[in-house]
Amino acid sequence: MDTLILFVSPWLQTDVQPLLLKELALLALVLVLAWFITHQLSRFASMGSVLFGRSVVDGVLFPVCALALAYVVQVVFLKQQAPMLFKLAIPVLWSLALIRLCARVLMAVFPVSPMAQLTERLISWLAWGVAVLWITDFLPLVAHEMEQVKLSFGKTRLDVRTLLEGVLSCGLVLVLSLWLSATIEQRVLAHTVSDLSMRKVAANLLRACLLLLGLFIALSAVGVDLTALSVLGGAFGVGLGLGLQKLAANYVSGFVVLVERSVRIGDYIKVDGLEGKVTDIKTRYTLLRDPNGRESIIPNEMLLTQRVDNLSLSDPQIAVQCTYIMSLDADIQQVQALLCQAALQSEAVLRDPPPQALLNRVDAAGLEFSLVCWVGDPEVGLLETRSQINIAVLQALRAAGIELPRTQQEVFKQAKPH
């Protein structure tokens, strides 16, 4: 309470009220100019980006512009007096810019990740906490106390302040690296690389290289000897060779699949008894959506070590086959014509190539026909298409007076005396 009174008391003095009004007017001018600049620049960019967010003041650019103008005003107009209102505004704008940057980048790169939301909350609490310490002039005292706390890592001794600054620097550099990689992927790769699989390869490699480079820059900035990382790299390699070989195999397999393009995003494949469309290829696993809308996670190693039937590798058309058994006295040409006409009742069935009705087998049970037709887009639902064809075939056979053969069990039940 004493600290709060000491902090507020200079504002209540009569001789500083004109200065306070002057700072208030300058701060309002700074915010208006920052809004105007952001609004003018937003005309040349799409809303929803990291810079502009969902509205003009919702992105990173508005607090950054306001922060730059605040520093200019403080140097030009307030150099003859100790700032009071700007002492509050500048830390708040710094915190707001940092929170907006981290929140928008994490939302763009990891839109549905709960860890991204948790990280955003932690960054918000940390940024506002530092702002409060900055405003109340406790930040130098806290930094000095953290310097007195020493931590030992083997022969290396670090204080808590250096360690915390290193963690924050690494986090900020990694966020900037993610932002740069996402921007290059959306602005450059989306227009220059038309193939989704190759675009995924380029995006993953770009993100990995930028993150590694950013990590090295951040560690060098805080004084960490990068030669010590060679020991860590050797231990990591041993760990991959022993306990993480499956994980490493999945990551390597993901890059091999993307580069070879044996399985591409949008292909319709069969693997390990599962059948569906490839919706995404991650670095560790592949997402497979079956005709029922259920998604399965397939480890990338399975795409290299097991048999994979790619039904749309050379031709995107998918064949749908239905089997019917007719009585031995059925007219073969009439049945074939009815089956082909019934298949065309479904809008998903292609007219070119036309459906085909083939006689597969002749035995005592009857005549077995196979109706083969093609659909151009498996997303329409193969089960629904097969159901439509079966309903149309059943209606056509009933209208033509063609009955399906009875099973031996049904014949026995009819012949059994009551």
Task: Pick the more confident residue, 52 or 14.
Answer: 52
Any idea which residue has 């953290």 for tokens?
A: 146
* Dihedral (CA of 271, 273, 278, 281) sign: negative
Helices (H), 110-150: 114-135, 139-148
Eight-class DSSP state of 349: B
Indicate whether 259 belongs to any domain: no
CATH number at 364 reads 3.30.70.100
Contact 250, 299 (CB under 8 A): yes
User: Which residues fall within 8 angstroms of residue 67, CB to CB, at 6 or more apart?
Assistant: 90, 93, 94, 97
77 located within any domain: yes
pLDDT band at residue 82 under the 50/70/90 scheme: low
Amino acid at 286: T
Question: Backbone phi, then psi, for 292, in 5-degree steps?
Answer: -80, 0
Q: What count of other Cβ atoms lies within 10 Å of the Cβ of residue 343?
A: 26
Q: Residue 3: is its pLDDT beyond 60?
A: no
Q: For residue 146, is it within any domain?
A: no
The answer to the question of residue 11 being in a domain is yes
Q: Would you state the torsion angle of the CA atoms of residues 298, 303, 309, 313, taken in this order, to the nearest 10 degrees?
A: 100
The residue from 137, 171, 193 where one domain ends is: 137
pLDDT in tens, 118-134: 777 787 888 888 888 87
CA distances to 21, 358, 360, 394 from 325, in Å: 93, 12, 10, 12
Look at residue 44 and tell me if it is in a domain.
yes
Averaged pLDDT, 204-224: 72
Residue 188 lies in a domain: no
Query: SS3 for 45?
Result: coil
CA–CA distance, 229 with 215 (Å, rounded to integer): 12
pLDDT reported for residue 221: 64
Q: Give yes or no for a contact between 280 and 256, defined as CB atoms under 8 angstroms apart.
A: no
Q: Convert the pLDDT of each residue in 12-31 to its tens digit.
A: 454 456 777 777 888 888 88
Q: Nearest 5°: CA angle at 102, between 99 and 108? A: 130
Residue 214 falls inside a structural domain: no
- What's the confidence (pLDDT) of residue 273? 80
Residue 13 lies in a domain: yes
Instruction: Give the end of a domain, one of 137, 167, 182.
Output: 137
Contacts of 162 (CB under 8 A, 6+ apart): 147, 222, 223
Domain of 49?
A: 2-137
Using a cut of 0.85, tell me whether the model's pTM lies above it: no
Q: For residue 377, name the pLDDT band (cuts at 50, 70, 90).
A: low
Strand spans (E) along 259-394: 268-271, 274-281, 285-289, 295-299, 308-310, 318-326, 356-363, 366-375
Q: Is the pLDDT of residue 388 over 80?
A: yes
Name the domain count of the chain: 2
Cβ atoms of residues 47 and 53 within 8 Å: yes
Domain boundary (137, 171, 201) is at 137
